[in-house]
Amino acid sequence: MHWKRAEVVSEMMRRQVFRGRTLGQARQAAEQVFGSGAVLLTTREVRRPGLAGMLGTTEIEVVAAAAEPEAPAPPSVPPPPPSRASTQLFAHEAYAADRRADAPSSVATLRNELRSELRALKTGGLQADRGSPDILAELAALRVAIEDATPALRLGDEAAAMLRRLGIEGTAAAGVARWLKGPDDGRALPERMRDALSEVVKVSAWPLATEGRAVIALTGPTGVGKTTTIAKLAAHATIDRRSVTLITCDGFRVGAVEQLQRYAALLDAEFASATTPDELARCLDEATTDLVFVDTAGRRPQPDAAESLLSAKNFGDRAFARHVLLCLPAALRAQDAAAVVKTFSALDPTALAVTKLDETTAPSGLLHGSTASGLPVSVLCAGQEVPEHIAQATIAAILDQLVPRAGSRGSAP
């Protein structure tokens, strides 16, 4: 479907209003009248009252039109190609918001269209595959886009500036803003910000606290610190007198096998490597240690890759508790977090390990990763030293990283 600037073609079109339960249904109704060339001029959500004013539902209302025959327009300079953030699904005028006096209304148009597409994806895609990780990741990315399209959080200047300074954006910023909008109790903004963040932050148990045998696997992008994090966890397990096996599935990064093998020798741990799901299954079945740590490749998991065995549906009924930690850097932005979550969703991560806390003064990835994935943070890493620079994630520790009190950040792991 072609989207054209409404102000250019408004005089040569016949307009009609169509409604549907989703944007797709409303668009289909318009195409039945105007054909496949129907142009949607506006979209909005409307409320349809139910019986006696109760049990009402919402519908998507669109104004559509078809262009009448028109002489060819004189040649003009073509507009520049849309930016990476733009897409042919949405009205072009929304992306020219910064160049027009009515910018706020144009951003509102884009936001409404994003919400319509989000509802269509929910009702259509999730009905087809309600548990699909890819669809859930797409929803997270759309939520980020909706929040990024909102020009202001409607907070006071000082609070909005603090959120920007902390690097918190998108859906995570909207969640914090909702808590900040409460009554002002006279406390300083940093304390109110800590309280708001405490309502949004999610944490889970330290993976080494699992009783009995456990598989602890780390997944995530290249360079985020998966291998070093495994070494830190394995070292703590050894200190606690628990036997350890280290397994690597990373046959792509140069030196990856040798690096983990060296850690195993230093810790007096068992070592194995696996390049296929069957090999990894055999390694797990033959392991006799209390804990098995699995290092994975920093790329999108493939169905025939060894680490595919770690997904919830493939892991099976093994005699291990299953922990799959998604490793994310502390400085990760909201949109990048959504992309990483989508890339590694096939392994069904159970919690997050946030690394490189020592490399940023705005560790907003602590919120962005959790918001994009819906997962709690379990592990915090702040440095390369093994085993010192690692700790269990707690709400207090995360708050001290985001909004430190005097001397608090210096005590990070």
- Which H helix or E strand runs over 163? helix 157-166
Residue of 248, 256, 328 lying closest to 293 (CA atoms): 248
- Supply the pLDDT for residue 141: 58
Mean pLDDT, the chain, rounded, equals: 77
- Supply the pLDDT for residue 59: 79
Task: For residue 121, name the pLDDT band (cuts at 50, 70, 90).
Answer: low
Instruction: Just give the CATH number of 207-411.
Output: 3.40.50.300
pTM for this prediction: 0.63
Phi, psi of 316 (to 5 degrees): 75, -170
pLDDT tens per residue, range 19-42: 887 777 877 887 887 777 777 667
Token pair recorded at residue 348: 């069904």
Query: Which segments of the chain belong to CATH 3.40.50.300?
Result: 207-411
Is the pLDDT at 351 greater than 90, yes or no? yes
- Supply the pLDDT for residue 399: 94
Least confidently predicted of 21-30, 91-100, 255-264, 364-373:
91-100
Helix axes 189-200, 365-373, angle to 10 degrees: 30
Phi, psi of 320 (to 5 degrees): -135, 145
Residue of 351, 350, 347, 231 lying closest to 297 (CA atoms): 347
Token pair recorded at residue 382: 């702040």
Across 122-127, average pLDDT: 50
Phi, psi of 42 (to 5 degrees): -145, 155
d(CA 398, CA 353): 12
- Supply the pLDDT for residue 394: 94
